[in-house]
Structure 1
Amino acid sequence: MIQKSASVHWEGQGKAGQGQISTETGALKNHPYGFGSRFEDDRKGSNPEELLGAAHAACFTMAFSFACAAKGFDTRQADTKATVHLNKVGDGYRIDRIDLELNARIPGIDAQTFQQLAVQAKNTCPLSRALASVPQITLIANLLADE
């Protein structure tokens, strides 16, 4: 079994509180987050939704590259943006949509195969499966012309 971990340290009450996010690899070490970086326009810290988006984009892109390799295609370039939608529902919030947008250069692949592999990766990457409770996960996959 593979295990990965992250931790958070929090001090303070509610909106006034501040947290720090750390990952076992050190990619994030005491990185700040709080109410302002989550619900307002404070760009000094991170927030759970952008971290979730980064994780989903990374997982999907890797799954897509593996799917291409299994069919004999080289992933020359693959860039994915994940947009996580956090909406107020009653007294709380809910992630109700994640939009994935892939722009990739895959020499020798046809458009239909490209789309099939992108959808396969979206449906089978571990993060997509873990996020099955999100009502909508969209995918726009753009095949870029080979340079």
Structure 2
Amino acid sequence: MAQLKRTAKAVWHGTGKDGDGTLTTQSATLDNVPYSFLARFGDGKGTNPEELIAAAHAGCFSMQLAFMLAGNNTPAAEINTGAVLIMESDGPGWKIATVELSLQASVPGISAEKFAEIANNAKANCPVSKVLNAEVKLTAKLL
């Protein structure tokens, strides 16, 4: 069985609320990028884990959809996916409750019904959708 490994590193200093940290990825796209409580739960400078999960989910879904549309012999001219990750308090902490994917795509030669079928299949089979222990929602719009 084929296997891929991707790595990232988080360094944190201090307490949860008053501390801060940096994130670095294998590709160095993120290289000591700051993150903090304020970036996560407010409007502080830097990134946060949930923002990165939302970006990863939008990217993963878009790529999965592109593969599936090409496999249907209806390649997309453009796929534009937004992701809104919603966290909710679950008593002592927080949980990722929902990810709302919002899709707009230009796909010549495909019916609205077939587009919806393939988009929902991509949502279910995108690796990030599979790893999340959250409801994943999709709103798709064919342009």
Matched, 1:140 2:139: yes
Matched, 1:70 2:71: yes
TM-score w.r.t. the length of structure 1 is: 0.93
Distance 2:74 2:139 in 1: 20
Give the CA RMSD over aligned residues: 0.8
TM-score w.r.t. the length of structure 2 is: 0.96
Percent of aligned pairs with the same residue? 40
Per the TM alignment, residue 137 of structure 1 is displaced from its structure 2 partner at its CA by 1.1
For structure 1, the 5+ residue unaligned runs are: none
Secondary structure of the equivalent of 1:45? coil
In structure 2, the partner of 1:5 is 7
Corresponding letter in the other structure for 1:25: S
For structure 2, the 5+ residue unaligned runs are: none
Secondary structure of the equivalent of 1:116? helix
Distance 2:7 2:25 in 1: 6
Matched, 1:16 2:14: no
In structure 2, the partner of 1:124 is 125
Distance 2:86 2:104 in 1: 21
Secondary structure of the equivalent of 1:15? coil
Distance 1:3 1:14 in 2: 29
Distance 1:14 1:66 in 2: 40
Provide the aligned length of Structure 1 versus Structure 2: 141
Per the TM alignment, residue 88 of structure 1 is displaced from its structure 2 partner at its CA by 1.2
Secondary structure of the equivalent of 1:14? coil
Per the TM alignment, residue 29 of structure 1 is displaced from its structure 2 partner at its CA by 0.5
Distance 2:51 2:113 in 1: 31
Per the TM alignment, residue 73 of structure 1 is displaced from its structure 2 partner at its CA by 1.0
